[in-house]
Structure 1
Amino acid sequence: MYGNSSLTEGGEKQQIHEYFLEEVRPHVEDAWLDLSKTQIGYEISFNKYFYKHQPLRSLEEVTRDILELEQETEGLLRQLVSFDLG
């Protein structure tokens, strides 16, 4: 709705109010808007448009990777943690 239209065209306060209701109010119920103090401009939320969520790996997968690395280092981690230098 807002991608191709300029907020400086007629009905700008109506467009601002619609945007507020669609994009802000669903996330912050007690948000308010004072149109007498509103300045027109654009802000790009990089998180909203460019962030791609990647779920965390399972605990089992992380544990398996740590144990595999421990085997690759021939027990060096165990020696460091236990202070066993011999």
Structure 2
Amino acid sequence: MTILCLLKEIKDYLCHLHIHDNFGKSDDHSLPFEGNIDWKGFVKGLKEINYQGVFMFELRKKTNNEEMLRTIKESYLNLFREEKND
């Protein structure tokens, strides 16, 4: 099942997303693009179902929180900028 199919199936239950990246084997809570999540497909799916809820990155504490926050901001802006241009 693709991420888009899954989002369409559960869209009526989504209101608050806690998201993070991983490799599908454990609850890594990694930064976006550090794992194997299809972020572009995920964002495209959220737009297609007109998701209007909270979008929160749920991460493990890193040694440099300021750098982590910059990375999150850049990732978030790039994800939505890329999707807008497609």
Say which one has the larger Rg.
Answer: 1
Relative CO higher for 1 or 2, CA cutoff 8 Å, sep ≥ 6? 2
* TM-score for the superposition, normalised by structure 1: 0.20
Question: Which structure carries more strand by proportion?
Answer: 2
Structure 2 length as normaliser, TM-score?
0.20
